[in-house]
Copies of this chain bind each other. A is one copy, B any other.
Amino acid sequence: MRVEGFEGKPYEASGDHSPPPDYPFTGEDSEITGEGLFVPPLNFAMVDNGVFRSGFPDSTNFSFLQSLGLRSIINLCPETYPEANNEFLKTNAIRLFQFGIDGCKYFLQEPFVNIPEETIREALNVVLDVKNHPVLIHCKRGKHRTGCVVGCLRKLQRWCLSSIFVEYQRFAAAKARVTDQRFIERFDVSNMNDIPITFSCSKR
């Protein structure tokens, strides 16, 4: 299978955008209309086995989220869930863990920021418990609050800080905050090191 030198077959523009005959769900033009396609939430990604991250999910994301077979959702926003989201949880027997962190209060005050360490730690404990998996961690945009929880998880998984920051920045992009990264750097995992991360791809 090792292909040392490849002679590429040129891509042939067929001009044919009709859906394949066995395309799922509709058998009609789902590829064009988008019908039957999954819409992952904003900033969705897989963090580790049974652990996902994203921005705030809305009803367009529900069929995708359903396909993940979630057992729990960690919502890091303080606001009450919209009725549609509560209904989705109920229908799919998904447990909600809400750790309301005020995005403005804690994440926009520079340079004096007090990111609520204990709340992040509580959220992290929910993530670490495989009984809650598959679990989705989300805030509003999946950048800062979620980025802090995932960054602390990576620290526990013994990722070096520069790699943790690169991952944080990949999601926060232009909105990356040095205060979040400082929080992750200073987050103390010493008393959590005895917790076995059984689900982790990257074994400690």
Interfacial residues, chain A to chain B (CB-CB below 8 A): 1-6, 8-11, 13, 19-24, 34, 36-40, 42-49, 52, 64, 67-69, 78, 80, 96-102, 106, 113-119, 122, 126, 134, 157-160, 162-163, 166-167, 170-171, 173, 183, 186, 188-191, 193-194, 201-204
Contact = CB atoms under 8 A, between A and B. Distances in A.
B98 A37 contact: no
A120 B101 CA distance: 43
Given A21-B190, A67-B202, A118-B8, A37 B2 contact: no
Contact of A201 (B36, B134, B183, B190): B134
A64 B160 CA distance: 10
A186 to B, nearest CB: 7
> Which of A1, A22, A38, A194 is packed against the most chain B CB atoms within 10 Å?
A1
Contacts of A134: 201
B193 A38 contact: no
Can you tell how many copies of this chain the complex includes?
Answer: 2
A162 to B, nearest CB: 8
A39 B98 contact: no
A38 B158 contact: yes
25 contacts: A3-B98, A3-B100, A6-B78, A6-B101, A6-B116, A6-B119, A8-B101, A11-B115, A11-B117, A13-B186, A20-B189, A20-B193, A22-B194, A24-B158, A38-B157, A38-B163, A39-B162, A40-B159, A43-B166, A45-B45, A52-B201, A64-B202, A67-B201, A170-B170, A173-B173
A99 B45 CA distance: 26
